[in-house]
Amino acid sequence: MKESTIMKIHYGTALASVGLVAVHILMRLTTGFSDSLSYENVLANYQSIPYVVMLELILILLAVHGFNGLRVILLELKQGRVYEKAVSYGCVVGMIALIGYGSRTIIMTNMGMS
């Protein structure tokens, strides 16, 4: 993939994350702050399908943005063909693993398996 395409995704995920995380934080205002973080209320959030979809989107956006940012930092830290391939593939694997684990948590909680 061209670097410009990757960076378009990088900037796009950053902007989208800011928007969705803002909605996520505003949702905390619907109840009192301490109430919104109580165990029952957090679990209740996962029963709302639109909210679950938004959480899943935030997870994907932040994972893509974060791991690409990590890749860029590591590429600037050290150079070398083998190292750069390891960093690039490592970050893709890490991103997929994080999204997989986070999605598992979201789905299990939604299904009442917590």
Is 2 among the residues that bind other proteins (CB under 8 A)? yes
C-alpha torsion 53→58→64→67, nearest 10: -140
**Shortest Cβ distance from residue 87 to other proteins (Å)?**
10
Local structure of 55: helix, strand or coil: helix
- DSSP conformational letter for 46: T
Residue 99 contacts residue 55 (beta carbons within 8 Å): no
Selected range binding other proteins among 33-41, 44-52, 74-82, 100-108, rule: CB under 8 A: 74-82
Is 92 among the residues that bind other proteins (CB under 8 A)? no
Is 3 among the residues that bind other proteins (CB under 8 A)? yes
Is 34 among the residues that bind other proteins (CB under 8 A)? no
Listing DSSP states for 79-96 in one string gives --HHHHHHHHHHHHHHHH
Is 72 among the residues that bind other proteins (CB under 8 A)? yes
Is 86 among the residues that bind other proteins (CB under 8 A)? no
**Inter-helix orientation angle 81-110/49-77, to 10°:** 160
**Which of 24, 70, 74, 84 is close enough to bind other proteins by CB under 8 A?**
84
Contact residues: other proteins, CB under 8 A: 2-4, 7-8, 72, 75-77, 79, 84
